[in-house]
Structure 1
Amino acid sequence: MEFMAWFTHKYVMHGFLWSLHKDHHHKDHNSWWERNDFFFIFYAVVSMSCILLHDSETFWIGRPIGLGILAYGIAYFVVHDIFIHQRFKLFRKANNWYAKGVRRAHKIHHKNINKEKGECFGMLVVPLKYFKK
């Protein structure tokens, strides 16, 4: 799932659907809701569809795919929305090496507010250079 998230973030969110993702980088709005949140809804619908439409004979892989998307969605919500962007005031004092590296990588990603020339599109797996002091 991390590779799919990286690929989608780099080539879809920073590509042809930048119009939905750019408010996440620009913060020129006063709303708690961002157009970027439509991606969360889209993946929730895909996940639920795979889980609910699975059939043990014809679409047996649906449940594992749906549960994988759900698990990554939960991780994304906790790490990205709660831990990194503090949309809810939890995990504010997390200060271990992994937390610092993930925060550092995300901060570098948001340093560029444009569609092009971004870096570090992953969320849970980020380059080792962000873990060094």
Structure 2
Amino acid sequence: MEFMAWFTHKYIMHGFLWSLHKDHHKKDHDSKFERNDAFFIFYAFVSMTFFYLGSETSFWAGWPIGFGIMAYGATYFIVHDIFIHQRFKVLRNANNWYARGVRRAHKMHHKHLGKEEGECFGMLLVPFKYFQKK
């Protein structure tokens, strides 16, 4: 799932669907919600579709695919929205080497306000250089 997230983030969110993702890099509204949140709804629908296919057809692989998408979505919500962006005020004190590296990589990703010249498109697996002490 991490590769799929990296791929869709780099080539879809920073590509032809930048119009939905750009408010995540540069807030242009007063709402708690972002246009970027539409991706969460889209992937929830995809996950539910695979669960449906797994239960109502002979496509047994729908179950693990649907669960994988759902589990990554839950992880994304916890790591990205709660831990990194503090959309809810919990997990503020996590300060181990992995937490610092993930936060540092994401900060570098958001350094770029446009869709070009981005870096660190993954969420859980980021380049080793962000885990090194400065």
**Fold match by TM threshold 0.5:** yes
| Alpha-carbon distance in 2 for matches of 1:49, 1:75 | 20
Q: Give the aligned partner of residue 82 of structure 2.
A: 82
| Alpha-carbon distance in 2 for matches of 1:77, 1:46 | 16
Determine if the alignment matches structure 1 residue 62 to structure 2 residue 68.
Answer: no
| Alpha-carbon distance, 1:30 to partner | 1.1
Give TM-score, length-normalised by structure 1. Answer: 0.97
| Alpha-carbon distance, 1:102 to partner | 0.2
1:1-133 → structure 2 map (5 Å cutoff): 1-55=1-55, 58-133=58-133
| Alpha-carbon distance in 2 for matches of 1:67, 1:57 | 16
Deviations 1:87-129 (A, max 9, x none): 0001000000000000000000000000100000000000000
Distance 1:32 1:56, change over 3 A: closer
Q: How many residues align?
A: 133
Say which SS state the counterpart of residue 126 (structure 1) adopts: coil
Instruction: Calculate the aligned-residue CA RMSD, in Å.
Output: 1.1
Distance 1:17 1:77, change over 3 A: same
Say which SS state the counterpart of residue 24 (structure 1) adopts: helix
Letter in 2 for 1:51: F
| Alpha-carbon distance, 1:27 to partner | 1.3
Letter in 2 for 1:118: G
Runs of 4+ residues deviating >3 angstroms: none
Say which SS state the counterpart of residue 115 (structure 2) adopts: coil
| Alpha-carbon distance, 1:57 to partner | 6.3
| Alpha-carbon distance in 2 for matches of 1:47, 1:93 | 32
Unaligned runs of 5+ in 2: none
| Alpha-carbon distance in 2 for matches of 1:97, 1:28 | 33
